């Protein structure tokens, strides 16, 4: 007999097929063999799922660590932003537009002009880009198809089987 879960499942299936065609096996032999293979298969699948849960735990840990590092990055960026503002404030308080040091040249640049929209509705049409987004309502389409209504351009497709473990 094989030792991998898939091989055990195949052996179990072969044995069930053999039972349908063979008259030489006693009910006790059949029960013992099926029980043995089933027990090994159960153990393999349980162990495989322990490993799956471990991998899912590691994935969750990575996700939490990524969030923690993103928060830390944001903190560093905010500190840098505040310190840049502090350096600018020092230049302006000293009445300097530019200061050269052996390492850096600090310049208090003039502000950049930017447009502020007070009310979009008052803008002329030629100065507004219109974007139209259309998205199918899949829930409504599914309900219509399931109730027997023909919906051109859509159909229901059954996905592949999936594993549920409780």
| 69 lies in some domain | yes
Q: For residues 24 and 156, which has the higher predicted lDDT (pLDDT)?
A: 156
pLDDT value at 11 more than 90: no
Give the integer Cα–Cα distance in Å for 35 and 42.
Answer: 10
Number of domains in the chain: 1
| 151 lies in some domain | no
Whole-prediction pTM value? Answer: 0.56
| 20 lies in some domain | yes
Are 20 and 46 a contacting pair, CB within 8 Å? no
| 122 lies in some domain | no
| 52 lies in some domain | yes
Domain of residue 52: give its range: 5-109
| 118 lies in some domain | no
| 145 lies in some domain | no
Give the integer Cα–Cα distance in Å for 118 and 45.
Answer: 63
CA dihedral (116, 118, 119, 122) positive or negative: negative
Q: pLDDT (tens digit, 9 = 90+) per residue, 111-132?
A: 888 889 999 899 888 889 988 8
CB atoms within 10 A of CB 141: 16
| 31 lies in some domain | yes
């Amino acid at each position: 007999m094989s030792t991998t879960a898939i091989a055990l499942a195949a052996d179990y299936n072969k044995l069930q097929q053999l039972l349908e065609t063979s008259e030489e096996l006693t009910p006790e032999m059949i029960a013992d063999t099926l029980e043995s293979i089933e027990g090994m298969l159960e153990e393999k699948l349980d162990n495989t799922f322990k490993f799956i849960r471990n991998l899912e735990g590691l994935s969750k840990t990575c996700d939490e660590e990524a969030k923690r590092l993103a928060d830390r990055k944001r903190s560093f960026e905010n500190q840098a932003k505040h310190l840049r503002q502090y350096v600018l404030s020092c230049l302006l308080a000293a009445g300097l537009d530019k200061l050269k040091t052996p390492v850096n040249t600090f310049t208090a640049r003039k502000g950049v002009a930017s447009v502020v929209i007070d009310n979009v509705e008052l803008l002329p049409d030629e100065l507004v880009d219109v974007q139209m987004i259309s998205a199918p309502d899949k829930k409504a389409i599914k309900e219509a198809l399931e109730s027997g209504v023909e919906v051109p351009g859509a159909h229901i497709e059954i996905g592949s089987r999936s594993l549920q473990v409780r």
